[in-house]
């Protein structure tokens, strides 16, 4: 996938936005070719230097940027020259999908193996043990707690898990 195509993909834009937030998005969305300093980026994008540095550090933590340090011989000041490395985005997204798949599998198992009670007034949900401790009354409003059917939630998780497994070309062990 070409660099320009990568940045125009809405999934990748959403991924970058989730990483760096709205203040860092101008930095992430318009990476320059070659090396650039944080000061140059802040000036070019008309952003606060701290917002640029925060975005660069987050990109660095996620292997999407690297830097090289130069020490000024006269002043001793360090200058950081940043390079963007967005070729790793597809791999990072795939890792995120695997993490999501595992989290969904665990949550589905939790939903399948627990009994829940709901306060229909407050929309608070309790496990059986908690509901029993409260005498099957909502601790917030005193309304009776009703047994909650969560099969639609589990089915929805099944569908999402199936879609992720298909996209990742994996099967659930023991399925």
Q: Whole-prediction pTM value?
A: 0.66
Return d(Cα 32, Cα 30) in angstroms, integer: 6
The pLDDT assigned to 117 comes to 97
Return d(Cα 138, Cα 121) in angstroms, integer: 9
Structural domains for the chain: 3-84 (1.10.10.10), 91-168 (no CATH)
Return d(Cα 5, Cα 59) in angstroms, integer: 19
The pLDDT assigned to 126 comes to 97
pLDDT in tens, 64-73: 999 999 998 8
The pLDDT assigned to 48 comes to 94
The pLDDT assigned to 3 comes to 52
Low-confidence ranges of the chain (pLDDT < 70): 1-7, 172-175
Return d(Cα 33, Cα 18) in angstroms, integer: 23
The pLDDT assigned to 165 comes to 92
The pLDDT assigned to 29 comes to 87
The pLDDT assigned to 1 comes to 46
């Amino acid at each position: 996938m070409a660099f320009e195509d990568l940045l125009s993909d809405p999934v990748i834009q959403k991924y970058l936005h989730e990483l760096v937030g709205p203040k860092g998005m101008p930095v992430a969305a318009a990476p320059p070719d070659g090396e650039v300093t944080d000061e140059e980026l802040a000036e070019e994008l008309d952003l606060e230097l701290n917002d640029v540095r925060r975005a660069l550090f987050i990109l660095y933590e996620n292997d999407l940027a690297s830097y090289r340090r130069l020490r000024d011989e006269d002043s001793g000041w360090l200058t950081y020259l940043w390079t963007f490395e967005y070729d790793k985005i597809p791999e990072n997204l795939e890792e995120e999908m695997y993490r999501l798949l595992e989290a969904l599998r665990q949550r589905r198992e939790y939903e399948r193996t627990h009994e829940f009670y709901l306060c229909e007034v407050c929309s608070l949900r309790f496990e059986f043990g908690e509901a029993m401790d409260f005498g099957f009354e909502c601790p917030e409003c005193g309304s009776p707690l009703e047994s909650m059917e969560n099969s639609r939630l589990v089915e929805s998780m099944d569908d999402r898990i199936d879609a992720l497994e298909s996209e990742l070309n994996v099967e659930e062990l023991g399925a």
